[in-house]
Structure 1
Amino acid sequence: MSGYGTDRESEELTFAAPPPVRGGAFTRTWWGQAWLKALDDSALDAQQVKAGRRHARAGAVGAVSVRPGRITAVVRDPDGSAYRGDVLVRVLTDEEWDRLLDLAVDSAGHIAALLDHEMPPHLVEDAAGVGVELLPGVGDLEPECACEAWDHCPHTAALCHQMARILDEDPFALLLLRGRGQRAVVDA
């Protein structure tokens, strides 16, 4: 798949397995919710997404690795079997990054908000205005799983749910997934 998971940046972040989620909303930010909407809009079987949410709530997702174009984790089924799940997202081109970084330079508030662990809505809107989609949309979350499902399975759906929680805490993880880590973005 062209544009998915490149070697342009060797940076990788690993987020420890989060604790189970008890009741309430799974994600607390608008950008975490937008991530989950992309999953809901992309998956062909809503039951698989619901099973993935149950897996994630139960703490079945191991540490999540985030690198340009790919997130990865091992997800355990209730019977104890484990599957490596990956979700691929298109990496932005150098031209798209140039346009995005030009926006950030024009509005220092965008980077300041990111450094405060917030995804400013205006950054996403401004980026879309210059043809750069930061948040995934329909069909942008490409699943790959050792269970060999051809669409989102409970494992990749659980991984997406955990990624939404990660994005709540660290929106720079989205930028790394799109191709550049925090240091590269701030330095630029």
Structure 2
Amino acid sequence: MKSFYVLANSVKFDHRMSIVAKDENLELIGTGKSAAVFKVSSTKLAIKVFYPQYTNLANVEADIYRKLNGIDYYPTLHADGPNYVVIDLIEGNTLYSCLNKGIEVHEKVINEVDNALRFAKKRGLNPSDVHLKNIFITPDSAVRIVDVARFTQEAPCPKWKDTKKAYYKFYRRGILPKKMPTFLLDTIGRIYRKYS
């Protein structure tokens, strides 16, 4: 297998951050505001390649994963470089995809996320930007949290607290449907960002 450095640098983005080239051993599994994530073929690893204007986050996120080492709620860091991090591949559904597919989210998941965030705080971190798309429920019902680059910001982040409030006030009481189309989930997200 090629080195992670070579794999990461095979990824090329255009001016809109669309992927225009990548190594054949990389399978795109997701994109976000600051990076694209790929499964590394024939492994159980994911490589997160940061967009050129966000490469500084690679070192930040790697340092945070090092601090979280040994906490089962977070993937293990396997390697990092100037524009990438390599972590465990997390399989399963995000809370977002659970809501989109109609997979019920049990209260146990909410409690497990609280535990994960408590463990991060005990390591001197400030869990931030914790939302539906970076919380996974694995096939064996374990909770995993990814995308931890903002866990060092100093300002308090209300996203998880607000998500929990919505869970208990609307979802658990049946006011929100268990299955929601993408446009509804995205509209709720846009409204939340606009008014929060």
- TM-score, scaled to structure 1: 0.24
Of Structure 1 and Structure 2, the greater helix share is in 1
| Larger RCO (CA under 8 A, 6+ residues apart) | 1
Q: Which has the larger radius of gyration?
A: 2
- TM-score, scaled to structure 2: 0.24
